[in-house]
């Protein structure tokens, strides 16, 4: 196995594992299936980890949130990892959709500028606004065609519609206004954050095909 674990910090309930980007052929093939758009194929490529971990520690690990960290040029991928105990006492890892982190300057959720086919809706009405940027925690919107004020938007719930993803309900918190440009933090209601995470990851992968191709994860 070529990939090396550089750091393993136990800090309950979070565990951080940092790995480099030098994967073996078997590992690359597994990740290709993991991030494919065909969940049925992913289920056929699960990994079973046999351990001799004491039962007390195994119970802690099985209830903890873990994250794999993969780093490329200008970005990091935080990959959620949840361990489940099978009937034989072994661990079965389940990997989630990576969050893309921008490391130019301070680490923050990567922001996508002018995302295509992303719209905001107020109930059944599409708002005549331009989404200038979108991240996992906020967005910047040009509201030149809408009469909302900063006060009107505090706590307001709007629907975000993404290509090939379920509708996401957002509870808004405007943080800055410059003329008709609103910078807004939001809280996802329900399971909407996973839809945004998938959209941002797939978009980052399609826009950086060479980077992902080098580790076998080209779109």
The 10s digit of each residue's pLDDT in 154-176 is 999 999 999 988 899 999 999 99
pTM of the model: 0.64
Q: Name the phi and psi angles at 209, rounded to 5.
A: -60, -40
Q: Count Cβ atoms within 10 A of the Cβ of residue 90 and give its class: 0-12 exposed, 13-18 middle, 19 or more buried.
A: middle
pLDDT at 138: 93
Q: Which residue has the higher pLDDT, 33 or 149?
A: 149
Q: Measure CA of the first residue to CA of the last residue in the chain; give whole Å.
A: 24
112 pLDDT band (50/70/90 cuts)? confident
Token representation of residue 77 = 């991928």
Which residues neighbour 5 within 8 Å (Cβ) at sequence distance 6 or greater? 17, 18, 19
Overall average pLDDT of the 116-131 stretch? 91
Whole-angstrom distance, CA of residue 41 vs CA of residue 76: 26
Which of 6-20, 93-107, 124-138, 148-162 is predicted least confidently? 6-20
**Is pLDDT at 43 greater than 70 in this prediction?**
no
> Domain segments of the chain: what residues?
5-96, 112-196
Q: What is the DSSP letter of 51?
A: -
Q: Give the lowest-confidence range in 87-101, 108-122, 179-193.
A: 87-101
Mean pLDDT confidence for 176-189: 92
Quote the pLDDT of residue 185. Answer: 94
Q: List helix spans (H) across the chain.
A: 25-34, 39-42, 55-62, 150-153, 192-207, 209-213
Whether the pLDDT of residue 62 is over 80: the answer is: no
Overall CATH class of domain 112-196: mainly beta
């Amino acid at each position: 196995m070529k990939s090396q674990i550089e750091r393993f910090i136990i800090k309950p309930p979070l565990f951080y594992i940092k790995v480099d980007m030098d994967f073996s052929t078997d590992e690359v093939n597994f990740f290709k299936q993991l991030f494919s758009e065909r969940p049925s194929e992913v289920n056929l490529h699960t990994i079973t980890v046999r351990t001799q971990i004491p039962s007390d520690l195994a119970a802690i690990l099985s209830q903890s949130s873990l994250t794999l960290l993969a780093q490329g040029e200008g970005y990091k991928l935080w990959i959620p990892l949840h361990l489940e105990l099978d009937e034989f006492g072994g661990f079965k890892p389940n990997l989630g959709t990576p969050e893309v982190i921008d490391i130019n300057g301070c680490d923050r959720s990567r922001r996508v500028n002018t995302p295509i086919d992303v719209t905001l809706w107020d109930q059944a009405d599409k708002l005549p606004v331009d989404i200038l940027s979108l991240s996992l925690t906020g967005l910047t919107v040009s509201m030149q065609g809408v009469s909302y004020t900063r006060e009107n938007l505090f706590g307001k719930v709007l629907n975000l519609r993404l290509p090939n993803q379920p509708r996401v309900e957002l509870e808004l918190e405007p943080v800055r206004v410059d003329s008709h440009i609103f910078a807004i933090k939001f809280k996802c209601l329900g399971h909407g954050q996973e839809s945004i995470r998938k959209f941002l990851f797939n978009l980052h992968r399609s826009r950086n095909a060479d980077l992902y191709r080098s580790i076998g994860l080209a779109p």
